[in-house]
Structure 1
Amino acid sequence: MFLTKLALAQMIDISAVKADSTAKEVESCVNAAMEHKFIAVFPLPTFAMYTKNLLKEQKGIILGGTVGFPSGSTTTNTKVFEAKELIGIGCQELDMVINIAKLKSKMLDEVSTDVSAVTKIAGDIPVKVILEVSLLSDEEIATGSRIIRDCGAKFIKTGTGWSGATTLEHIRVIKNSVGNSIDIKVAGGVRNLESLLKIHEMGVSRFGLGYKAAIDVMAEYDRTKVE
């Protein structure tokens, strides 16, 4: 599948969301987005305003915010407050973590209420809901995927990047559960151009990469075009 360099960059959200991601790394993340035209930048909430100021009037780069990150086990009220605050700062997309513990406990009504509360407060702001697939059984992935779709989220996202990698089988389970009724963002384990393109061919439209990995993917694209 042929992709232009810009089309590739516009599928990639880049982030600096490790526990020890510094202000300097956030700045490097923003600079990478500007240079390569990545579609979105995601910092941790503590750096949301800082990132907004770095982006200034830069057009075409989305400021993203994380909600309930990375465990998903904050209360629903806390997630709603966090979503409101991030939207107020200027975040244009939200990546929230599903309540993993309650999903695994089969407390599905509470899981649905949690997701719905955030999508409702977000309104027209797209919400991607993170499953953290490496911690879930196939049944839990399928159930969680249907909940996310039914609660009005824009994307199912596979992971936070803090846990294990997303596999092709994880994506197949999601696809078998919800088909093409909701978009999918894969994060965790995508480290090169080949794996990204293979996953894209499965119908995945967005990818979440740490900014250093994303820069490496773009460099690999350039080498491939030269060869």
Structure 2
Amino acid sequence: MLLNQYIDHTLLKANATVEDIKKLCDEAKKHNFYAVCVNSYYVALANSELMHTDVKVATVVGFPLGSIVNQVKVFEAKKCIDQGADEIDMVINIGLLKSGYYKIVEDEIRAIKKAIENKVLKVIFENCYLTDEEKKVACKLSMNAGADFIKTSTGFGTGGATLEDIKLMKNEVQEDVMIKASGGIRDFQTAKQYIDLGVSRLGTSSGIQIVTSK
């Protein structure tokens, strides 16, 4: 697979404007990125801008904290699919995972996957807040619930993706679930390291720099 087809070209800043989202979509078309990733409000706009192209629309649910009523996450996910999203990146309820409420966390992932049916579900852990054992639990819960991807980070926590976390996650899921590395990936060398470890997708706002600086 070509490097650009690993990239979810991402813009999730609170101050992103309509023109910024249009520019993001234009860049994704120009560089043939796999997807754009935008906040849920902008799904319809991104879908309109990318119509008749191969670029997918990904969006985030329960973002960036994860501690939203689960029915609201499910509604947000369904609404985004209705507006043209191809992929949903949901944030788990980090506090409930750390509290040991594993069934609630797993059931929420399963409910969102059921709501979006055959669309792609990526489950964001926010690894910077988790112990290694909690990361392993999150991997198992995501697999049990039918997730398509597990993902390292929102990019809004205290840390992003690390090579060590990717190794840990890959060891837990093997080939059963794909992995998306996100947060702090800004150059070709770093991107290649993650791909060599077996990630299937990279979430980054530096996609253009990555594909043009190799």
CA distance in structure 1 between the partners assigned to 2:96 and 2:183 by the alignment: 22
Match of 2:191 among 180, 188, 196: 196
How many Å apart are 1:125 and its aligned residue?
A: 0.4
| Matching residue of 2:31 | 36
**Counterpart of 1:220 in structure 2: which amino acid?**
S
The CA deviation at 1:45 is: 1.1
Could you state the TM-score of these two structures normalised by the residue count of structure 1? 0.91
- Structure 1: stretches of 5+ with no match in the other structure: 222-227
Note the 1:6-17 alignment, pairs <5 A. Answer: 7-17=2-12
The residue number in structure 2 matching 1:117 is 111
Query: Could you tell me how far 1:149 is from its partner in structure 2?
Result: 1.1
Deviation at 1:58, TM superposition (A): 2.8
CA–CA separation in structure 2 for the residues paired with 1:137 and 1:192: 27
Larger radius of gyration: 1
- Secondary structure at the counterpart of residue 59 of structure 2: strand
Q: Does 1:67 align with 2:73?
A: no
Instruction: Letter of the 2:86 partner, please give it.
Output: Q
Post-superposition offset of 1:48: 1.3
- Aligned equivalents of 2:16, 2:156: Cα separation in 1: 13
User: Per-residue CA shift, 1:70-128, capped at 9, x if unaligned?
Assistant: 11111110011001100110111111111111111111011011111000111100100
- State whether residues 29 and 53 of structure 2, in contact with CA within 8 Å, keep that contact through their aligned partners in structure 1: no
Aligned to 1:158: 152
Q: Could you tell me which amino acid in structure 2 is paired with residue 140 of structure 1?
A: E
Q: Moved runs in structure 1, 4+ residues, more than 3 A?
A: none
Counterpart pick for 2:207 among 201, 214, 224:
214
1:88 aligns with 2:82: yes
2:133 to 139, 156, 164: 139
Is the contact between residue 44 and residue 66 of structure 1 (CA under 8 Å) also seen in structure 2? yes
Cα distance per residue 1:17-50 (max 9 Å; x no partner): 1122222221121011010000101111111112
* Matched residues, number: 213
The whole-number CA distance in structure 2 between the counterparts of 1:177 and 1:53 is 38
Percent identical: 35
Of 142, 148, 166, 1:148 maps to: 142
Whole-Å Cα distance in 1 between the matches of residues 161 and 13 of structure 2? 18
The alignment partner of 2:213 has SS state of helix
CA RMSD after TM alignment: 1.1
- Give the structure 2 partner of residue 225 of structure 1: none
Stretch deviating more after TM superposition (147-156 or 19-28): 19-28
Secondary structure of the corresponding residue to residue 106 of structure 1: coil
Q: Aligned partners of 2:43 and 2:201: how far apart in 1?
A: 21
Report the TM-score when normalising by structure 2.
0.96
1:176 is displaced (CA, Å) by 2.2
